[in-house]
Structure 1
Amino acid sequence: MSRAGNRTGPTMHDVAAAAGVSQATVSLVLNDASGTRVSEETRHRVQESARRLGYRTNAHARVLRGGVAGMIGFVGDFVATAPFAGKIIEGAQARAWEAGLPLLTVNTGGDKELEESSLETMLSYKVAGVVYAGMYHRVLEVPEVLGEVPAVVLNSRDASGRLPSIAPDEELGGYTATRHLLDAGHRRIGMINIGTPDDVALPAAAGRRAGYLRALAEAGIAPDPQLLLDGDGEVPGGYANTLELMAADNPPTALFCANDRTAWGAYQALESLGLRVPEDVSVVGFDNQETLAPNLRPGLTTLELPFAEMGRRAVELVLAGDGPAGSRPAGPGRTELFECPLIERQSVAPPNPQRARYPHK
C-alpha cells in the first residue's frame, strides 16, 4: 500500500499542541460550539493552526456524535442561474463558513423530481438544516420533508405557515420609490406594476402597489387610475405601458417601474417619443439588477433587493435551530421583512415645466 494510503493526517491533538491550548478548546472552536468563552485571539490561533496543519474535521464522526453532519443544505429553483439573485447564495455561504460549515447547494431549475431527490439526499446525510429559496418573492408550497429539520424559506413565503420566512419588504420599497419622486417635486407619478395586485401568489406586485398608493395618500394626492397599470415585468411590456401612459391627456412627469426590466422598456419608449430621462420624465426602478441598472444611460435610480443580508439571516435561523425541529414555538411561521435600500443614480430630476410636447399630440 502506498504511503499516502496509510496517512491519517494531523489530529485534533496536533492542532492543540500547535496552538498551545487544550484539545477541548480546539474541539469547541472547530465545532463552533455556542455559549463558550473562548477569546477571539485564541479562536483565531486555533483556526490558523488547523489551516496550517491541514486538519480536517471528521464529518462522519460528527454525525455519530451529534446526529447531524457539518453542513447546511441550500435548495433553490433558479437562484444560482439568475443574473442578480446569486447574491443570496453568497450571503448564505459566507455565514455558513463563519460557523465552519460548508453550504451544500442544489439549483433545481424548477424540476420537482430533482428537488425531491436533492432533499432526500440532504436529509440522508443528516444536514444541520435546509434553506429553501425562491428566485423571486412568491408564496410557495413547501415540501413536507422540511418539517424534519430546521428549515427556513428564503426570498419567498411558506404557504402553509409552518416555516419561518425571509423576504423583502415590498410595500416599504414601493413607498420609498414613490416618496423619492415626490421629494423631487413630482405630483403626476405613473406606476407600471409587475403583475396584478390580486395575485396572492405574488406578494411583490401587491406590496409595491400598496407602497405607491400610501406615499401618494401621505402627500395628499388622489390616485389616478389612468396612471396605474398592471404589467408583465418584461421590457416589451414596459415599452407598451409607457406609451399608453404618455398618451394620456395629462401624462405623468415621473414613472415608478416595479422592476428594472420594465424601466428599461420605459427608457426605450420615452426615447421613441423624443423625451429625455430625467430632463423630461424621471424614472425609478426596482431590483438594482447589476447587469442592467448601472448600465442604462442615464444610470437608473432603483431599489436594491437585499439578497446577501437575507441569505445570511436564513443561515443564522438554521444555525439557531429555528423551524419546526428546533425551539420555535408552535403556530404560524413568522416572516422577517428586509428593507430594500434606494440606490440613487441619474434618472431622477425635478419636473420640467418646459417639457417638449409629444410627437403624437
Structure 2
Amino acid sequence: MGNKNVGIKDVAAAAGVSVTTVSHVLNDVSYARVSAETRNKVRSAAEQLGYGPNRLAQALRTQRTGMLGLVSEDIATTPHAGRIILGADEAAKARGYNLMIINTSGSASLESRQADVAALLDRRVDGILYATMDHRNVELPDNLGNVPSVLVDSVAAGGNITAVIPDEEGGARAAVRALLDAGHTRVGFINNTVDVPSTRQRLRAFRATLTEAGLDGDAAPVETETAGVPGGYEAARRMLARERRPTGLFCYNDEMAMGAYRAAAELGLAIPADLSIVGFDDQELIAANLHPGLTTVALPHYGMGAWAAEQLINGIEGKVDLSRTALSPTILGCPVVTRDSVAAPRH
C-alpha cells in the first residue's frame, strides 16, 4: 500500500530529478529518454518513501484500468495446465496489471463464451488472454476483437489474433531421439484419436525422425486410442502383442504412457529393461510418480502464459503492433525431462 502522505514531488526531491522524470519512470513511458541509472534511482526513492501512483488518476489519464481478463477453457481446473495462469499472473503483476479470470469449458457454446468475454468487457479490462487446455484451432467470439487480445495454446480459425503455441513437432522429435539415442530401432507410437494439431504434428515428427535415422518411418507401428489411461492401456496391449514388438514406445501424453506401464506389467515386461517409454506433457503428478519415473516432454505452460501477458501488455501500451504479430504464431520449445524409463534395449 502506498503512503498517502507522500507525493510525486517528494519522490522527485529524494531522487534529485524533475517531477516529469518521476512520472515518466513510474508510468513506464516508452518514449521517455531516461537512463537506466536514473530509472533505478527514481524507483528506489519511490519504494523507500512508500509512494504508489494514484490508480484512479492513472486510469483517467491513460484510459486504462490496469486489469487484464483471462478466459480459461478448462485450465483453471487442470493442475498441470494451470501454470498458464500462474505465468500470466506473475508477468502481469510485474508490469503493474492484475488478472481477472473466467473459467469456461472447451465444449461450451460460442454464445456462452461470447457472454464470458462480454462479462470481462463490462468490467473494462484493458485486454484479454484466451487460453485453451489443448493446442488446437479455436472459433472465437466476435467481441474478443473489442480490445487487444492474445491466444494461449491455440490459434484462431481465421489466424487473425496474436498467439503463442508449443513446438509440438520439436518436442516429438526430441522424444523419439531419446529412444533412438538409447539404441532402439523398433519404436512404436501410441497416438490420440482426436484430429487436433498436436495429434497430426506429433505423428508427422515421429515418422520423419525415424526416417532421418535411416529407419522406415512410414512402416513404424502406430496405434490410436482416446487420449487417457484406458486408451493408452488398450493401444499398448495391441502394440505389444505384435510378433516383432517395439522395444521403445513414444506415447501421445503422460496419461497414455501410464496406461502403457500397466499393459507392460500385465505382460511381464520390465521398464526400462524390456521396454522403454517416453511420454509428452510432463504432468508432474503422473510422470514423477510412476515407477520408474517417466521420461517425458514438457509443455511450456508457464512460459506461454508469461509470454502472452507480456505481449498483450506491450500491445495495450503501444509498444508492439498486435496486428503484425498475428501474422504467424510464436512457438515455444518443449524440452525433454529425463527420468528413468529409457534404457538400451536387450539384444
The answer to whether TM tops 0.5 is yes
Which segment is superposed worse, 124-133 or 15-24?
15-24
> What amino acid is aligned across from residue 61 of structure 1 in structure 2?
A
1:106: which partner in 2? Answer: 102
1:166: which partner in 2? Answer: 164
Q: TM-score, normalised by structure 2?
A: 0.89
Q: Is the 8 A contact 1:306 1:338 kept in 2?
A: yes
| Distance in 1 between residues matched to 2:165 and 2:301, nearest whole Å | 9
Query: Would you say 1:89 and 2:89 are equivalent positions?
Result: no
1:280: which partner in 2? Answer: 274
Structure 2 vs 1, CA of residues 54 and 231 (structure 1 numbering), >3 Å: closer, same or farther? farther
| Distance in 2 between residues matched to 1:323 and 1:52, nearest whole Å | 27
Q: Give the superposition deviation at 1:311.
A: 1.4
Structure 2 vs 1, CA of residues 25 and 80 (structure 1 numbering), >3 Å: closer, same or farther? farther
Q: Give the superposition deviation at 1:205.
A: 0.6
| Distance in 2 between residues matched to 1:323 and 1:80, nearest whole Å | 27
Structure 2 vs 1, CA of residues 32 and 107 (structure 1 numbering), >3 Å: closer, same or farther? farther
2:193: which partner in 1? Answer: 195
Q: Is the 8 A contact 1:142 1:160 kept in 2?
A: no
Structure 1, unmatched stretches of 5+, are 1-6, 354-361
Q: Is the 8 A contact 1:74 1:131 kept in 2?
A: yes
1:302: which partner in 2? Answer: 296
Query: Would you say 1:180 and 2:196 are equivalent positions?
Result: no
| Distance in 2 between residues matched to 1:29 and 1:132, nearest whole Å | 30
SS at match of 2:65: coil
Q: Is the 8 A contact 2:248 2:275 kept in 1?
A: yes
SS at match of 2:69: strand
Structure 2 vs 1, CA of residues 223 and 214 (structure 1 numbering), >3 Å: closer, same or farther? closer
| Distance in 2 between residues matched to 1:88 and 1:79, nearest whole Å | 8
Q: CA RMSD in A?
A: 2.6
Q: Give the superposition deviation at 1:278.
A: 0.4
> What amino acid is aligned across from residue 247 of structure 1 in structure 2?
A
Alignment: residue pair count: 342
Of the candidates 56, 62, 65, which is equivalent to residue 66 of structure 1? 62
| Distance in 2 between residues matched to 1:81 and 1:51, nearest whole Å | 37
Q: Give the superposition deviation at 1:29.
A: 2.4
Q: Is the 8 A contact 1:69 1:125 kept in 2?
A: no
Q: TM-score, normalised by structure 1?
A: 0.86
Q: Give the superposition deviation at 1:61.
A: 2.5
1:250: which partner in 2? Answer: 244
Q: Is the 8 A contact 1:29 1:46 kept in 2?
A: yes
2:230: which partner in 1? Answer: 236
Query: Would you say 1:57 and 2:65 are equivalent positions?
Result: no
Spell out, residue by residue over 1:184-214, the C-alpha distance to the aligned partner (whole angstroms, 9 max, x if none): 1111111101225xx2xx1111111111011
Which segment is superposed worse, 168-177 or 47-56?
47-56
Spell out, residue by residue over 1:68-111, the C-alpha distance to the aligned partner (whole angstroms, 9 max, x if none): 22222222121122111121122222222222222222223455
Spell out, residue by residue over 1:274-296, the C-alpha distance to the aligned partner (whole angstroms, 9 max, x if none): 11110000000000011111111
SS at match of 2:280: strand
| Distance in 2 between residues matched to 1:77 and 1:47, nearest whole Å | 38
1:359: which partner in 2? Answer: none
| Distance in 2 between residues matched to 1:327 and 1:89, nearest whole Å | 24
Counting aligned pairs with the same residue, the percent is: 43
Structure 2 vs 1, CA of residues 329 and 71 (structure 1 numbering), >3 Å: closer, same or farther? closer
1:339: which partner in 2? Answer: 333
Structure 2 vs 1, CA of residues 56 and 107 (structure 1 numbering), >3 Å: closer, same or farther? farther
Spell out, residue by residue over 1:165-184, the C-alpha distance to the aligned partner (whole angstroms, 9 max, x if none): 11111111111111111111
> What amino acid is aligned across from residue 258 of structure 2 in structure 1?
W
Q: Is the 8 A contact 2:148 2:322 kept in 1?
A: no
Q: Give the superposition deviation at 1:19.
A: 4.0
| Distance in 1 between residues matched to 2:317 and 2:339, nearest whole Å | 40
SS at match of 1:80: helix
1:351: which partner in 2? Answer: 345
